[in-house]
């Protein structure tokens, strides 16, 4: 069932947000990503660093090789914004889910 931009129910919210690639969420958070070796790389916004250690894979997930954190777009949004995952999913949906500009082809 299509919800035409309406906020999905709480359980469905995480499912919907899992489809948002982490690199798209990172860009919305102001993280600059460069590509190399078939992956995206960035300075991790969760700690201070001078060499990109945050990797974005083709599956839409992220991992920081310095601090060891990683996950999906909701995990990144929650970590950067200091929010609970449910609140991060709701905010991420409001920011990116409605527009569906991230949909993979």
Give a yes or no: residue 1 inside a domain: no
pLDDT means per 10 residues, the chain with 105 residues, are 49 78 94 92 95 94 96 96 92 76 45
CATH assignment of the domain containing 17: 3.90.580.10
Return d(Cα 89, Cα 7) in angstroms, integer: 11
**What tokens does 80 get?**
């950067």
Return d(Cα 18, Cα 75) in angstroms, integer: 10
Give a yes or no: residue 38 inside a domain: yes
Domain that holds residue 36: 10-97
Give a yes or no: residue 93 inside a domain: yes
Question: pTM to 2 decimals?
Answer: 0.81
10 Å Cβ neighbour count for 36? 9
CA distances 34 to 26, 51, 54, 81, Å, are 12, 12, 11, 22
Return d(Cα 101, Cα 53) in angstroms, integer: 27
Give a yes or no: residue 5 inside a domain: no
Give a yes or no: residue 91 inside a domain: yes
Give a yes or no: residue 104 inside a domain: no
Give a yes or no: residue 4 inside a domain: no
Q: Number of folded domains in the chain?
A: 1
Give a yes or no: residue 27 inside a domain: yes
User: What is the per-residue pLDDT for 86?
Assistant: 87
Contact 81, 72 (CB under 8 A): no
Instruction: State whether residue 70 is helix, strand or coil.
Output: strand
């Amino acid at each position: 069932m299509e919800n035409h931009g309406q906020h999905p129910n709480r359980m469905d919210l995480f499912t919907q947000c899992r489809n948002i690639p982490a690199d798209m969420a990172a860009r919305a958070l102001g993280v600059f990503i460069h590509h190399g070796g078939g992956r995206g790389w960035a300075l991790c916004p969760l700690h201070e660093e001078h060499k990109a250690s945050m990797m974005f894979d083709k599956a839409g997930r992220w991992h920081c090789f310095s601090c060891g954190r990683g996950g999906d777009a909701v995990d990144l949004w929650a970590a950067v914004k200091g929010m609970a995952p449910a609140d991060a999913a709701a905010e991420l949906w409001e920011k990116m889910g409605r527009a569906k500009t991230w949909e993979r082809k």
